[in-house]
A and B are shown apart, each in its own frame.
Chain A
Amino acid sequence: MSRDDAVVGVDRDTPGGRPPRAWEVAQRLGLRAANDDVADDLPAYAELHCLSDFSFLRGAASAEALFARAAQCGYEALAITDECSLAGIVRGLEAARATGLRLIVGSEFALSCGLRCVLLIENQAGYVRLCELITRARRAARKGEYRLGRDDLADVLAARAGETGSCGLFVLWLPAELPDAAEARWLQGLFGDRMHLAVELHRDRDDAARLARLLALAAELDIEAVAAGDVHMDVRRRRALQDTMTAIRHNTPLADCGAHLFRNGERHLRTRRALGHIYPHALLEAAVRLARRCTFDLDQIRYAYPAELVPDGHTPASWLRALTEQGMRERWPGGVPANVAAQIDGELALIAELKYEAFFLTVEDIVRYARSRGILCQGRGSSANSAVCFALGITVVNPAESRLLMARFLSRERNEPPDIDVDFEHERREEVLQYVYAKYGRERAALAATVIRYRGKSAVRDVAKAFGLPADQVALLAECYGWGNGEAPMEQRLREAGFDPDNALIARVLAVTEQLREHPRHLSQHVGGFVISDAALSTVVPVENAAMPDRTIIQWDKDDLETMRLLKVDCLALGMLTCIRKAVDLVERHRGYRIDLAQLPPGDAPTYAMIQAADTVGVFQIESRAQMSMLPRLKPKDFYDLVVEVAIVRPGPIQGDMVHPYLRRRQGKEKVTYPSVDIRAILEPTLGIPLFQEQVMELVIHAGYTAEQADGLRRSMAAWRHGGDMEPHRVRIRELMEAKGYSSAFIDQIFEQIKGFGSYGFPQSHAASFAKLVYISCWLKRHEPAAFACALLNAQPMGFYSPSQIVQDARRGRGGRIGIEVRPVDVTCSDWDNTLEGGYVKRGVDDGGQAALRLGLRQVGGLSEAMAQAVLAARVQRPFRDVRDLCLRAGLDERARRALAEAGALQTLAGHRHAARWAVAGIERQRPLFPGSPDEDAVALPAPTAAEDVLSDYRATGLTLRTHPLALLRGQLRQRRLLDSRQLERLPHGRQVRTAGLVTQRQRPATAKGTIFVTIEDEHGMVNLVVWSDLAVRRRKALLGARLLAARGRWERVDGVRHLIASDLADLSHLLGELQTVSRDFH
């Protein structure tokens, strides 16, 4: 085995590296640009009423599809009028640009009184009004809904002080089946001659009669009538999808949905020839005339970054320079190296040229706030790892240290917004968000939206329900789209689940599912992308309520923001930062010194020794099993190696087959060569093997691409994942590289890697920021194991390991890392958090004098924090006399009392668990009438056995400080000739062995072709099992069901990496009895 194990459980975070959506749209629509510009004698037309798929579960076609169709039909313009929303309008703009067809911005509304209309925007003033109107309607209702009354509409339309000219909006009245002239008169009163009557004919009733009636009404009221289409789809064949969406929206099976369905497929973008047969030409011409009056262009949106961060007397540029210089003095007290100073000058000039000062100042302000509150944070991203950001304190990655290629800092050619994500401690990010809200006000700051789309599983679930399938079948079908299927073809999965793919009904369900996939479903809030504006945001984009109370989101997602050139700051939450900050505080309190993270000694040998031994349970990033199996081979020895380590276990390098060549070169098994001397500088840091996305870009630029072409390539890479075309690039790169004399094999390899990056590009700029946290967390684990373990437990849930594994690892120690004492949870001395007790001031390099870790009440299952705090408050008054005293003074409810007894936290007050349970059960519900209620006769109960205590420990806290359960079973296991993990460690490579352990993790990585990786644990440590797919099938039950798993197989140890290649498995869970264990499966 072994080579491929490096590939296990690839980490998939994908920072950066995706192309702007607008670019993709332009690529796709550009390819199709087959317009019939041939003059014809068909009537001209512009569609004024058209819903895109951002009218969720109503519109069945994307703006892109709609524009493609409208252009093909030779329309003059197309309005996107989603219902009370502008969430899809940017997509409309992108498609309009790509097709050359004009976009009209508008929105459809149904007022609470029942009146329906479409508002169309004439000019900038109208746009602002529409944003306000949508914001008002959306804010007045629950997430995803809106409420708009006649008064609201009148209010927003009322002329404002200092405003001259019109309201900037046109209205299309959508008469009901029985038109109500009163509605029309009311609208007329509001809009005057800006009101039009929409005549929408769909052959679903007597069109001629309808037309006559509406025209008569228009004449009577003196309103101009225009033709409109109430368009819900691009082409007629989208009808099945549209019907299904309707059924989903009404939560009614299709067969019972008749009253809600459209009677036919006429609500598509009809050809002008068809329209000419349906409408009088005067109505079509009226639509075109009205369209021409809507001159607003979304490009006119003016957005300004907040200006208040710059003090009087400064320009943004001078202030940024002042702050940077101040930071430089702090970072380099002995004087700034000349090359760094030059780099900073260059960066500042570029920032000034692109006018991004305000953005950097905003990020700096947020980071400064966080720092002032002691909230740990770190920036990452291509712009973050710049010398300016280092000086400003946004990142701690010293550009000199990480050998960064700076090409991607900012690019003049690409004209791309700066990329900075800031990670904050996950428990305190909310404080930062609230600071931003408070500083700029809710009108000016809001989170970006994320568009939640249908995935296979959610799509098939909704579609199958719409077809009226019973709940069990819906669940099973959904499961066919779930994780557990590896790469088996859908047909096989269906057959295994008991469906017949040839069955007509199933075939229809699947066909519609495929159509529904990727359709937007609703808006949700972005994980942390803040948009801040100088003027009220609602004049730029509508704002609506998010699911969380007190959260508002704008209707645009990050791609929209990019297209509209709005800047956003990503404020993300990172658990490891919480852990590090807590550890630093604990070290200060118990070891008497303050760690300055920026000044942590680099290149600490014991820390690197620990990393090389893969002793990394709990640290940042390099704790996964895949990373751990890489560490002993890669043997990181300096910071740059950590950057490589973070980036190498990712699909890019793996797919490009760069991992093993790199390892061989590191281990000196292969000579380091370069394809040509010229690119030695690019590849030297990584021994001639390109590992980072930046390097690949440098290579193609070196081969002859311009920066812009290289950027095009980067974008095609991402598009390639969605079926985009890479062939032109492949041909061109091959030509260029062949001309430079590179070998054909190397070119192929580069190209494979490019495709790998396309899926999950991992740029060096992110890896460097992560590597910093890796180093810090490893340093803490190595030198301050007690503080690190304690902080890690308090920052849970995070990472790969359970509290039980963290505690075992901390107690055991390994190599030079000291094992620490862990004390049980005890109601007389535990806090809510886990705490440290004792500890000596650190002397020199000695790591002795570690404090003991006292488990906190938070580890007690079923105990609420409120109850725990009540215990602490009562304890401060005076120590507890006995269990009764505790329960009465802390006012513990029954659940809390039992939880404490179960967890063994009453040991000091009541003795063993049996006695504690008896004692808490005897507490009356109410305070007794007399203070000293009669004491009961003492009852002597037998003490629990060791095994019972272990059982209770696991049940109540998920971990035990007593004997490991497997130690209790060791006798029985030995009889079965099963070895423990310590015995395995001593065996040579290739030996046939038998072992058993508690299952703690099961993984089935997509890159591993059905192989399952299982981690088992015994009293001495963990053993990694590799289960090939044929064995996995044969022993499915044991593999998936066992809590205690026995395995037989071949013991492998190569380069310090150890595995057991299982040849057989058995379930020994019955030996555990009632022990409850937890396994982290298939994450």
Chain B
Amino acid sequence: MLWACILLPQLALDAVLRRLPDPARPLALVGGPAQLRTLHAVNAAAAAAGLRAGMRLTAAHALLPEAALVDHDAQAESRWQQFLAAWAYRHSSQVGAQWPGCLLLEVRASFGLLGPWPRIEARLREELTALGFSHRIAMAPTPRAAHVLAGLRDGLSVSNPAAIRELLDRVPVRRARLPDDTGERLHRMGLRDLRSVRALPAGGLRRRFGAALLDHLARLYGEADDALTLYRPPDRFDLRIELGYDVESHTPLLFPLRRMIGDLCTYLSIRDGGVQRFTLRLEQETAHTDVDVGLLAAERAPGLLFELTRSRLERVQLERPVLALRLIAHELPPFVPATRDLFDVRTQQNLPWPQLRERLRARLGDAAVHRVAPTCDPRPERAWRRVDADGGAIAPAPPRPPRPAWLLPRPVPLRDVRLRLVAGPERLESGWWDGEDARRDYYVLETSQGQRAWAFAPPGEQGGWMLHGWFA
């Protein structure tokens, strides 16, 4: 076997840079607790100005105030490593992604299909560059050797076992990717390359550095096998169909859509699963439009899924021509067929609430269906907010004096010469922090028609009423 190692020296940084219009602007990733923000990584422009990883944010700021700062996402590295593993899977069926910051590919098996190593290497580099990830690539007979070589010099490839041993012997201990701080400790004992380490008695080494060092060396030199956990593509459905022509209306989309839904259902039935939520992506010249489809329970009936998707699709305004369709399904729970009562008494008018909600959302759009939750804001007009219909539990409202059931969207003048004060004032002075300080005296009033109104006046006054709600 021959292993290629793709080293990704600045994975987290690249992940941020690739989405920026001008990656040449100085940029730093910032991490650490609020009191001690430090730089996690910096790009070339920032490094040129003297910024370094590990530097205090404030020091960095003193050096280069205009540097763009992005929060470092600790999860990003492993997420993007997985992303790239999926990409690498196209080039090799044996991909390892368990060592941080690098990918391993068995490439000998791919020679027949993809051509000799230089060609594979060139292709890997080309695609990585296009994806926007900096990289170093090396090839060697063992994964560990490839890993070490990639760190030594970009582009090294050695397949001859004798040559690789010779080369490894000359590797400085601190760059041999030895476990933990072993490399540094060996270096400080005056041992500079692997040859001199291997020349030492194994017993003495084991005693000082444990079995891990000897294991590492054996695997590095190919004297023992490296048990890599190989990458497996995730369980998800992702299908893309290029239309081959510009589509500017809905109808021509329906046929490919029916095909894709069919494929999805086939896939689902092979897995014996269903789908609860999926996205139809309409890809356009520079952007795309997502049509999200959510279901109450896992389904896999093609007819139902197609109808649901169609009704959603037809509400989308196609402002730009669609070039491709993509169907992405993440939530693929096991399928549990609904048990039907023998004597099904449900009628169209008697839908259970969740189903009704789904239907309303399908008809009116997600934005039209929502729940109402109280907030802490003292101003009545901000005392509640809309929340997503699927959201979890809603916290109880903070205690407040009685409030009318019907709050007007905005206060309107109340003109009635025969108002009677029922209760009040309740003085509200709050909300200054967002620039909309409210200062009002609220009263409960009875109008000449006998209605109970909730209205306010400027503090200390009893006139110029503004009606804000009605008590039922």
Interface residues, chain A, with chain B CB atoms under 8 Å away: 177, 202-209, 236, 239-240, 243-244, 254-259, 261, 263-266, 467, 471-472, 474-476, 479, 482, 484, 496-498, 504-505, 508, 902, 913-915, 917-918, 921-922, 924, 936-937, 939, 941-944, 952, 1036-1037, 1040-1041
A34 shortest CB reach to chain B, Å: 25
4 A-B pairs with the lowest CB-CB distances in the bound complex, closest first: A258-B376, A914-B190, A259-B398, A471-B34
A472-B62 contact given A203-B427, A937-B201, A937-B204, CB 8 Å threshold: no
Q: Which residues of the partner chain A approach B37 to less than 8 Å between Cβ atoms?
A: 471-472, 475
- Contact between A497 and B65 (Cβ–Cβ < 8 Å)? yes
- Contact between B190 and A484 (Cβ–Cβ < 8 Å)? no
B466 shortest CB reach to chain A, Å: 17
- Contact between B433 and A913 (Cβ–Cβ < 8 Å)? no
* Chain A CB within 8 A of B71 CB: yes
Q: Which residues of the partner chain A approach B433 to less than 8 Å between Cβ atoms?
A: 240, 243-244, 254-255, 467, 508
Tell me the bound Cα distance from A497 to B377 in angstroms. 31
Contact among A177, A261, A913 with B430 in the assembled complex (CB-CB below 8 Å): A261
Question: Most chain-A CB neighbours within 10 Å: which of B185, B204, B401?
Answer: B204
Within B139-181, the residues touching A (CB, 8 Å) are none
* Chain A CB within 8 A of B429 CB: yes
* Chain A CB within 8 A of B432 CB: yes
Contact among B66, B423, B429, B432 with A209 in the assembled complex (CB-CB below 8 Å): B423
Known: A203-B427, A918-B189. 10 other contacts (CB 8 A): A177-B399, A202-B427, A204-B427, A236-B429, A257-B376, A504-B435, A917-B188, A922-B204, A941-B189, A1040-B62
Tell me the bound Cα distance from A320 to B236 in angstroms. 93
For B69, the closest partner residue in chain A by CB is A472
* Chain A CB within 8 A of B441 CB: yes
Within B219-270, the residues touching A (CB, 8 Å) are none
* Chain A CB within 8 A of B100 CB: no
- Contact between A240 and B432 (Cβ–Cβ < 8 Å)? yes
Q: Can you show 27 pairs from A to B with CB atoms below 8 A apart? A: A204-B427, A207-B425, A208-B423, A239-B432, A240-B432, A244-B433, A255-B376, A255-B433, A258-B378, A258-B398, A263-B429, A263-B430, A475-B34, A498-B65, A508-B433, A508-B435, A902-B188, A917-B188, A921-B207, A936-B201, A936-B204, A939-B201, A941-B190, A942-B190, A943-B190, A1036-B63, A1041-B63
Tell me the bound Cα distance from A1041 to B376 in angstroms. 48
Tell me the bound Cα distance from A264 to B431 in angstroms. 10
Tell me the bound Cα distance from A497 to B425 in angstroms. 46
Q: Which residues of the partner chain A approach B200 to less than 8 Å between Cβ atoms?
A: 939
- Contact between A1037 and B49 (Cβ–Cβ < 8 Å)? yes
Q: Which residues of the partner chain A approach B58 to less than 8 Å between Cβ atoms?
A: 475-476, 479, 482, 484
Contact among B62, B424, B434 with A255 in the assembled complex (CB-CB below 8 Å): B434
A264-B428 contact given A258-B376, A472-B57, CB 8 Å threshold: yes
Q: Which residues of the partner chain A approach B35 to less than 8 Å between Cβ atoms?
A: 475
Q: Which residues of the partner chain B approach A921 to less than 8 Å between Cβ atoms?
A: 185, 189, 207-209
- Contact between B61 and A476 (Cβ–Cβ < 8 Å)? yes
For B37, the closest partner residue in chain A by CB is A475
- Contact between B59 and A1040 (Cβ–Cβ < 8 Å)? yes
A249 shortest CB reach to chain B, Å: 15
Within B38-68, the residues touching A (CB, 8 Å) are 49-50, 57-59, 61-63, 65-66
* Chain A CB within 8 A of B30 CB: yes
Q: Which residues of the partner chain A approach B191 to less than 8 Å between Cβ atoms?
A: 941
- Contact between B190 and A944 (Cβ–Cβ < 8 Å)? yes
A1011 shortest CB reach to chain B, Å: 17
Q: Which residues of the partner chain A approach B427 to less than 8 Å between Cβ atoms?
A: 202-204, 263-264, 266
* Chain A CB within 8 A of B416 CB: no
Contact among A206, A467, A917 with B189 in the assembled complex (CB-CB below 8 Å): A917
A1037-B50 contact given A240-B433, A472-B71, A917-B188, CB 8 Å threshold: yes
Q: Which residues of the partner chain B approach A207 to less than 8 Å between Cβ atoms?
A: 425
- Contact between A922 and B207 (Cβ–Cβ < 8 Å)? yes
A203-B425 contact given A258-B378, A508-B433, A942-B190, CB 8 Å threshold: yes
Tell me the bound Cα distance from A1032 to B433 in angstroms. 40
Q: Which residues of the partner chain B approach A504 to less than 8 Å between Cβ atoms?
A: 435
Within B366-382, the residues touching A (CB, 8 Å) are 375-378
A57 shortest CB reach to chain B, Å: 17
For B70, the closest partner residue in chain A by CB is A472
Q: Which residues of the partner chain B approach A944 to less than 8 Å between Cβ atoms?
A: 190
- Contact between A203 and B201 (Cβ–Cβ < 8 Å)? no
* Chain A interface main SS type: helix
* Chain A CB within 8 A of B115 CB: no
* Chain A CB within 8 A of B426 CB: yes
Q: Which residues of the partner chain B approach A256 to less than 8 Å between Cβ atoms?
A: 376
Q: Which residues of the partner chain A approach B185 to less than 8 Å between Cβ atoms?
A: 917, 921
For B422, the closest partner residue in chain A by CB is A206
Q: Which residues of the partner chain A approach B424 to less than 8 Å between Cβ atoms?
A: 206
Q: Which residues of the partner chain B approach A902 to less than 8 Å between Cβ atoms?
A: 188
Q: Which residues of the partner chain A approach B69 to less than 8 Å between Cβ atoms?
A: 472
* Chain A CB within 8 A of B203 CB: yes
Q: Which residues of the partner chain B approach A467 to less than 8 Å between Cβ atoms?
A: 433
Tell me the bound Cα distance from A592 to B75 in angstroms. 67
B414 shortest CB reach to chain A, Å: 20
Tell me the bound Cα distance from A479 to B69 in angstroms. 16
Q: Which residues of the partner chain B approach A258 to less than 8 Å between Cβ atoms?
A: 375-378, 398, 430
For A265, the closest partner residue in chain B by CB is B429
Q: Which residues of the partner chain A approach B378 to less than 8 Å between Cβ atoms?
A: 258, 261, 263
- Contact between A205 and B401 (Cβ–Cβ < 8 Å)? yes
Q: Which residues of the partner chain A approach B188 to less than 8 Å between Cβ atoms?
A: 902, 913-914, 917, 952
Tell me the bound Cα distance from A909 to B415 in angstroms. 100
B460 shortest CB reach to chain A, Å: 9
Q: Which residues of the partner chain B approach A918 to less than 8 Å between Cβ atoms?
A: 189, 208
For A247, the closest partner residue in chain B by CB is B433
Q: Which residues of the partner chain B approach A1037 to less than 8 Å between Cβ atoms?
A: 49-50, 63
A285 shortest CB reach to chain B, Å: 24
Q: Which residues of the partner chain B approach A244 to less than 8 Å between Cβ atoms?
A: 433
Q: Which residues of the partner chain B approach A496 to less than 8 Å between Cβ atoms?
A: 65
A937 shortest CB reach to chain B, Å: 6
Tell me the bound Cα distance from A943 to B207 in angstroms. 22
For A1042, the closest partner residue in chain B by CB is B50
For A920, the closest partner residue in chain B by CB is B208
- Contact between A1041 and B50 (Cβ–Cβ < 8 Å)? yes
Q: Which residues of the partner chain A approach B434 to less than 8 Å between Cβ atoms?
A: 255
A206-B375 contact given A479-B61, A1037-B50, A1041-B50, CB 8 Å threshold: no
For A260, the closest partner residue in chain B by CB is B376
For A916, the closest partner residue in chain B by CB is B189
Tell me the bound Cα distance from A952 to B185 in angstroms. 13
As a 0/1 sequence over residues 184 to 207 of chain B, the CB contacts with chain A under 8 angstroms (1 = contact) are 010011110000000011011001
B51 shortest CB reach to chain A, Å: 9
B133 shortest CB reach to chain A, Å: 26
For B444, the closest partner residue in chain A by CB is A206
Q: Which residues of the partner chain A approach B425 to less than 8 Å between Cβ atoms?
A: 203, 207
Q: Which residues of the partner chain A approach B59 to less than 8 Å between Cβ atoms?
A: 1040
Q: Which residues of the partner chain B approach A505 to less than 8 Å between Cβ atoms?
A: 435
Tell me the bound Cα distance from A942 to B203 in angstroms. 20
A215 shortest CB reach to chain B, Å: 17
Contact among B208, B376, B426 with A922 in the assembled complex (CB-CB below 8 Å): B208
B141 shortest CB reach to chain A, Å: 30
- Contact between B207 and A255 (Cβ–Cβ < 8 Å)? no
- Contact between A264 and B190 (Cβ–Cβ < 8 Å)? no
Tell me the bound Cα distance from A239 to B433 in angstroms. 11
A161 shortest CB reach to chain B, Å: 48
Tell me the bound Cα distance from A662 to B462 in angstroms. 74
- Contact between A924 and B207 (Cβ–Cβ < 8 Å)? yes
- Contact between B34 and A474 (Cβ–Cβ < 8 Å)? yes
Tell me the bound Cα distance from A918 to B205 in angstroms. 10
- Contact between A1036 and B62 (Cβ–Cβ < 8 Å)? yes
Tell me the bound Cα distance from A177 to B427 in angstroms. 17
- Contact between B376 and A203 (Cβ–Cβ < 8 Å)? no
As a 0/1 sequence over residues 57 to 101 of chain B, the CB contacts with chain A under 8 angstroms (1 = contact) are 111011101100101000000000000000000000000000000
Q: Which residues of the partner chain B approach A205 to less than 8 Å between Cβ atoms?
A: 401, 426
